[in-house]
Amino acid sequence: MKYGVLGTGDVARTIATKLIAQGHEVMMGARSGANAKAADWAEANGERARSGSFADAARLGGRVFLCVQGIHALEALEAAGRENLAGKVLIDLTNPYLYKDGHISLDPRWSGTTCLGEAVQEFLPETKVVKTLNYLCNALMTCPDRLPEPITGFYCGNDVEAKAEVAALLKDFGWTDTLDLGGIAMSRYTEMLGAFWPAALNATGNMEWGFRLVRKR
C-alpha cells in the first residue's frame, strides 16, 4: 500500500516509520519538497521511503495521514490539493490546540458547536475523513502494548467502509481494543479528550498512559 504522511514532526515520523516497517511505501510531505527533516527521514528509512511536498505526498498515497499541527491543518490540506485527496481515506490525527503557560485550550474556531475533524471533512467533501489516535502520545499510537494493560483505540468518521479500513490498520498497529464512536462530529469529544494530557503528565511524570473504555456486556 502507498501512504502519504502530511507533516514532519514526532507524530508524522512515528506513523511513517511504522508503515515502512510493515512493508508499505511512504512519502513524507512538507510545505516544501526540499524540507530537510523529511529528506533525512527518507534517507534513514530505505528505498520505500520518500519525501516531497504536501501535494506530492497526497498524490502518491492511496491513504493519507494528516499529522501537522492542528491549527495549520486546513492550510496543509489546501497545499496538498483537494483533487489529490478526492476519493481517498484521510486519517486525521490532529487537534486544534493552543498552548499557553503550560496549559491547553481549544482554538475557538473549532470548539463548542463544531470541531477540527468536522472542518476537515467540510473542507474535503470528496474525501473520507476518519479521526483517530489524536488523544495519545505518538509512542503509543503505533505501539499500544507499551502499556501493561490494553487501552481503547477510538475512531470516528462518516464513511462506514473507510472506518473499517482504519480499524484494520489499527489492528495492524497492535490495537486489540478499538471502538467506532460514530460520525465525524464525535471528533469534538476525542479532541477534548486529548487536552487531558497536561493533567496526566503532571500527575504521572510521563506521557505513556491511555484510556480504556470498559463496556457493559
CATH number at residue 182: 3.40.50.720
57 to 41, 109, 117: CA distances (angstroms): 14, 27, 20
Domain count along the chain: 1
pLDDT digits (tens, 9 = 90+) for 156-190: 999 999 999 999 999 999 999 999 999 999 999 99
Residue 115 counted as domain residue: yes
Count of alpha carbons within 13 angstroms of residue 156, beta-carbon side: 20
Residue 69 counted as domain residue: yes
pLDDT digits (tens, 9 = 90+) for 53-82: 999 999 999 999 999 999 999 999 999 999
What number of other Cβ atoms are within 10 A of residue 56's Cβ? 21
Residue 91 counted as domain residue: yes
pLDDT digits (tens, 9 = 90+) for 117-150: 999 999 999 999 999 999 999 999 999 999 999 9
Residue 70 counted as domain residue: yes
Crossing angle of the two packed helices 36-44 and 10-21, in degrees rounded to 10 = 20
Phi, psi angles (nearest 5°) of residue 178: -125, 160
Cell of 185: 462530529
Residue 165 counted as domain residue: yes
Q: For residue 133, what are the domain limits?
A: 2-204
Find out whether 115 and 157 touch, Cβ atoms under 8 Å.
no
| Measured distance CA(48)–CA(14) in Å, rounded | 16
Residue 212 counted as domain residue: no
Residue 216 counted as domain residue: no
